[in-house]
Amino acid sequence: MQLGLAHVNMGWMSRPEAVAEAAREAEAAGFDTVWAGEHVVLPDPQVPPSPMAPQDPALDSLMALTWAAANTSAIRLATGIVILPQRNPVVLAKQVATLDVLSGGRVTLGVGAGYLEPEFRAVGANFAERGAVTDEYLDAMAALWYSEHPAYAGRFVSFSGVDAYPRPVQQPIPLVVGGHSAPAYRRAVARAHGWYGYGLTPEQAAASVTGLRGASGRTERAAGLGELEISVTPRGRITPELAAGFAAAGVHRLVLVASPRADGPHRAIEAGLAAVASL
Which domains can be identified in the chain, with CATH numbers? 2-277 (3.20.20.30)
CB 63 within 8 A of CB 92: no
Per the rule left: phi > 0, alpha: psi between -120 and 50, beta: everything else, 23 is alpha
| Separation between Cα atoms, residue 156 and residue 129, nearest integer Å | 10
- pLDDT cut 70: percent of the chain above it: 99
Give pLDDT tens digits for 38-81.
999 999 999 999 999 999 999 999 999 999 999 999 999 999 99
Q: In 29-88, where does DSSP find H-type helix?
A: 61-70
Which of 216-232 are b and which e, b meaning 16 or more Cβ less than 10 Å from the residue's Cβ?
beeeebeeebeebbbbb
CB 255 within 8 A of CB 209: no
CB 112 within 8 A of CB 119: no
Task: Name the amino acid, one letter, at 27.
Answer: E
CB 119 within 8 A of CB 86: yes
Could you check whether the bond before residue 43 is cis, i.e. omega within 30 degrees of 0? Answer: no
What's residue 4's pLDDT?
98
Q: What is the largest CA-CA distance in the chain?
A: 55
CB 107 within 8 A of CB 99: yes
Q: Does position 97 have pLDDT exceeding 90, yes or no?
A: yes
Query: In terms of Cα–Cα distance, which of 81, 134, 90 is closest to 109?
Result: 81
Q: Does position 120 have pLDDT exceeding 80, yes or no?
A: yes
pTM for this predicted structure: 0.97
What's residue 79's pLDDT?
98
Mean pLDDT of 264-273: 90
